Structures are given as C-alpha cells and as structure tokens.
Structure 1
Amino acid sequence: MPGKAERKDHPLSMRLPEADLAIIDRAARLRGRSRTDFVREAAMQAAEDVLLQTLPIRMSPEGFQSFVDVLSEPARPVSEMVEVLKRPAPWEASESNEP
C-alpha cells in the first residue's frame, strides 16, 4: 500500500465582519480573483513588505563610506522636478481658463 501523500497546503481560518467580507469580495471580483486568492495575495504582499523593511542592508566598509559621502554632499536641484513644481496644479489651470 503506497504511503499517504503529505498535504502541502495548510488551512487558515478567520472571522470577519460582513462589511469587511463585502469589501474583500468586491475587490476580488474587480481583479477577477477568488476571495481566497485575493486574500492570500494581499497577505503575502503585506508580509513581504514587513520582512523587506526589517532586512539589514549589508555592504563593505568602502561601500558604506561611499554611501555616506554621497549623502553628505549638498543637495542639487533636479531640473525635471523643478519644472514639474513650477506648473500650475490642474485645478489652478482650469480656473484661469474660465471665461
């Protein structure tokens, strides 16, 4: 008799208010996903974000010194950002075009 196959998936159960389920279901439908797939993807993304925020950044002493040197330089304007910030906001532009 062959051995019993080991289960690779593990169930996760949680209690949620109906309002939360309604939002989750609506978002899942908009993405064309099942509730399970949607919740799993959202949970995995949140978990990865937390883990990435807590990972140490490793670099050589020389690399760290180069990093510190760049941060210590005076700030320089980025011409593209300066140009964007000079433009009127969309709501300001529409007010000036009114008759």
Structure 2
Amino acid sequence: MTTASTPKTRRDSLNLRIPPAERNLIDRAAESAGKTRTDFILEAARRAAEEALLDRALMVVSPEAYAEFLKRLDRPAQPNEPLRRTMQSKAPWKTA
C-alpha cells in the first residue's frame, strides 16, 4: 500500500553573526508580528531584495512611446468624482 506524501522542499541554511542587541531587536519584532525569527528575517530580506531589484529595473521604449508618456505626465489632472470626494473628506487624524 502506498501513501501519498508531499515532496519536501529543499532548504539551504544561511548563518549570520550579529550583535546580541540586534538579535534581541529582531526577536522582539518577530514576536510582535507573530512570526519566528527565521520567518521574520526571511520575509524582510526577501522584501528588501525585491525592492533593490525593482529599483534597478530598466524599461526600454521607443522614442515615440516616451514622448507620449511625457505628454501625459504634463497634462493637468482631470477631476473626477472619487478625487473630489477624497479632497473634500477630512483627514483621518483630524476627525477626533
């Protein structure tokens, strides 16, 4: 009889040497987020890596497409109902 088993994902280790004060700070933040230290650090590192790569993303467009993009940026904004409502509502921090 065979049993269905889920394949285990291969994981590599990453060792860090950090001062105790920084480890304690990370532990406190992880605990407040309801995560393990590993999950907290992995999520933060992944987010930082994605942002670093996205900040360096290069988009190549034709001169015509770029000219059209600049033309649209220079156009004044067209008011619409959602924008009017937003501009007329009180700021959440001023409602008290």
Same-fold call, TM > 0.5?
yes
CA RMSD of aligned residues (A): 2.7
Name 1:33's counterpart in structure 2: 35
Equivalent residue letter for 1:44:
R
CA distance in 2: counterparts of 1:61 and 1:91, whole angstroms: 44
Deviations 1:33-72 (A, max 9, x none): 3212211210121121011011111223332222122112
| Structure index of larger Rg | 1
**The structure with more helix, counted as a fraction of residues:** 1
CA distance in 1: counterparts of 2:91 and 2:74, whole angstroms: 33
Q: Mapping of 1:7-86 within 5 angstroms?
A: 9-18=12-21, 20-86=22-88
Distance 1:93 1:33, change over 3 A: closer
Structure 2 unaligned spans of 5+: 1-9
Matching residue within 75, 87, 90 for 2:89:
87
The count of corresponding residues between Structure 1 and Structure 2 is 87
SS at match of 2:67: helix
TM norm structure 1: 0.64
SS at match of 1:12: coil
Structure 1 unaligned spans of 5+: 1-6, 95-99
